[in-house]
Amino acid sequence: MNNTEFIIEVENSHNRSKRVLLKKEKEYSGDEDRLEQFYRAGATHNIGPCDALFGMALKHITSVSDMVKTPREFSLKKWNEKLTDLRNYTYLLDALVRDIGVE
């Protein structure tokens, strides 16, 4: 993959992530706080919201970890789905560490 193709794939990946994040906004967030689910999950389990988010992300990390053992057994559609979910958790964690006041 040359540099131009790589940049195009990065842009495509970012666009996939953005579409999913916007779609999931209605499903997972309240009217005001996009990160509310992580605060609530953390409070329920007496852990911080970042720990709660990471616990949720582990499902995706584990799934991708299994897939990399036999990458050709999975369609590009399945790879896109799993990697987009995993990437989106990094975006959500990025927002969450700022929301809790990390400087």
pLDDT digits (tens, 9 = 90+) for 31-74: 678 899 999 999 999 999 999 999 999 999 999 999 999 999 99
| DSSP-assigned letters across all residues of 65-77 | HHHTTSGGGS-HH
What pLDDT is stored for residue 31 in this prediction? 66
Would you state the structure tokens that stand for residue 52, as one six-digit string? 């709660």
Q: How many angstroms from the chain centroid is the CA of residue 9?
A: 17
d(CA 36, CA 18): 19
What pLDDT is stored for residue 26 in this prediction? 75
Q: How confident is the model at residue 27 (pLDDT cuts 50, 70, 90)?
A: confident
pTM: 0.89
| DSSP code of residue 47 | S
d(CA 33, CA 53): 15
Count of C-beta atoms within a 10 Å radius of residue 3: 7
